[in-house]
Amino acid sequence: MAQGEKQRSVLRINLDILNAVRDEGEAKPTHILYRANLSHERLVRYLDDLTGKGLIEMKQEGENRTYRITSKGVGFLIEMRRAESFVQGFGMAI
């Protein structure tokens, strides 16, 4: 397990992944892995979960696999940012 991962909630990890994918445009798993600070095995699980929910989509070209955020994913990030701002107002963190 990567250092610091233990303290992060599943929601926080998902947000880190989504932010990484959005910022990269077409994100390679290694880039997401670096940005989200996860082990490869766990990253695959999270990516599958986010793909299944329609928040990101996978593009396979030969050996290369990239991920891109969907419009649903962008909407989710905006709503999450608002919710995060709201909970921070009451002294909480995700």
Partner 1 sequence: MASGALFTFFLNILSALVALLTSYYAYKAHRFIPNSLLWAISIGFMLLGLGLIVDAGTSLVTGRTLVESFSDRVLTLLASLSFLTIQMVAYLIMAVGYARAAFGNQAKTAAAPLALAGSALAGLYGYSILSYFVTFVLLAFIVFQGVLLRSGDKRGLSGMVLLAFALVFVAHLVFLVSVLVLGSGLFLIGTVVQFLGFLSLLIFVVRSEVVGPR
- Chain residues that interact with partner 1, rule: CB under 8 A: 11, 19, 22, 74, 77-94
Q: Which is nearer to partner 1, 7 or 60 (CB)?
A: 7
Structure token digits, residue 25? 């445009």
Q: Which is nearer to partner 1, 10 or 44 (CB)?
A: 10
Per-residue exposure over 29-43, b if at least 16 CB sit within 10 Å of its own CB, e if not: bebbbebbbbeeeeb
Minimum Å gap between C-beta 25 and partner 1 is 14
Minimum Å gap between C-beta 1 and partner 1 is 23
Q: What is the distance between the alpha carbons of residues 37 and 5, in angstroms, rounded to a whole number?
A: 7
Q: Is the dihedral of CA 22, 67, 83, 87 positive or negative?
A: negative
Minimum Å gap between C-beta 50 and partner 1 is 15
Q: Which is nearer to partner 1, 52 or 91 (CB)?
A: 91
SS3 16: helix
